[in-house]
Amino acid sequence: MIDTDNSVIPASHADLLDSTALAHVATIGPNGEPQSNPVWFNWDGQHIRFSQTTTRQKYRNVQREPRIALSIVDPENPYRYLEVRGAVERIEPDPDKTFINTMAKKYLDQNVYAGSPPGEERIVVVVRPERTSTMG
């Protein structure tokens, strides 16, 4: 069960944080342009977390500018969504790929994420929600 008592996440849309919907994460690129792509995510009751590699643009973007926005569309109703705006609170190393393997279990029902080439350095982006908007 998701705890929303101490969160800006509205109880009416908290179920989306438990779903296998993708979060479309938007960051600010080096020239001020938005950059958006879908990611697997999880919610720990206070933070939204998602995995990246250290070679991706999104990783460089959040290091330079920690503000992000993300949206999660209800897989059962495309007119219902949760938008979250917040900031990257921290970036955690994932050297043993524990987090991405957890995401592979959630999204693919596989114990190990097979998409990581050998030597790929993964990190976990930890986002503190600050504001939300909803529809549906």
Over residues 119-134, the mean pLDDT reads 95
User: What's the pTM?
Assistant: 0.91
Domains of the chain and any CATH numbers? 11-135 (2.30.110.10)
- Supply the DSSP symbol for 14: G
Rounded distance, CA 62 to CA 56, Å? Answer: 11
Rounded distance, CA 121 to CA 36, Å? Answer: 21
Count of other CB atoms within 10 angstroms of residue 72: 22
Tell me the CA end-to-end span of the chain in Å, nearest whole number: 21
Q: Does the pLDDT of residue 37 top 60, yes or no?
A: yes
Quote the pLDDT of residue 111: 96
Pairing, β 34-39 against β 23-28: antiparallel
Over residues 43-66, the mean pLDDT reads 95
Percent of the chain scoring above 70 in pLDDT: 96
Quote the pLDDT of residue 117: 78
Rounded distance, CA 101 to CA 98, Å? Answer: 5
Over residues 5-15, the mean pLDDT reads 84
Quote the pLDDT of residue 5: 46
Q: Does the pLDDT of residue 3 top 50, yes or no?
A: no
Q: Does the pLDDT of residue 60 top 90, yes or no?
A: yes
Over residues 95-113, the mean pLDDT reads 96
Quote the pLDDT of residue 6: 52
